[in-house]
A = this chain, B = another copy of it.
Amino acid sequence: MAASLDTVFAALADPTRREILRMLLEDDMAVTDVAHPFQMSLAAISKHLAILAAAGLITQEKRGRVKWCKLEPDALKPASVWMQSFGQFEPVNLDDFEAFLERELGTERDAD
């Protein structure tokens, strides 16, 4: 549960997994629905979700035959704190933040 920085950063290093997290930001989703927009097998997505769960970034709860995936943003905190120990020890500027959101988040899919 209290996953290591290793597992959290490794989980974030894959664009598919970052996109999944972004999707879950909007709402909880079933595994099949998470898989739908991707061009890969359900099994592959299932593995990605297991990695995210192992990192604590999501939790999964089975209700009936449907397994619901829920974002756990607090799991990002240790990593975020670690990163902020670099730079000037001040939180990210909000203007930069918004500018970045438009550029980076919005174009995530064709960034690589």
Residues of A within 8 A of B (CB): 4-6, 9-10, 12-15, 18, 21-22, 25, 71, 73-74, 76-88, 91-92, 96-97, 100-101, 104-105, 111-112
List, in ascending order, chain B residues with CB within 8 A of A25's CB.
Answer: 85-86
A94–B40 Cα distance when bound, in Å, is: 41
Known: A9-B13, A12-B9, A13-B13. A83 touches B83 (CB 8 A): yes
16 contacting pairs across A/B (C-beta < 8 A): A5-B15, A5-B18, A5-B104, A6-B14, A6-B112, A9-B10, A12-B79, A71-B86, A76-B83, A77-B96, A80-B83, A81-B96, A81-B100, A85-B97, A91-B91, A91-B92
List, in ascending order, chain B residues with CB within 8 A of A78's CB.
Answer: 100, 104
Known: A5-B111, A6-B112, A13-B9. A84 touches B92 (CB 8 A): yes
Name the distance in Å between A111's Cβ and chain B's nearest Cβ. 6
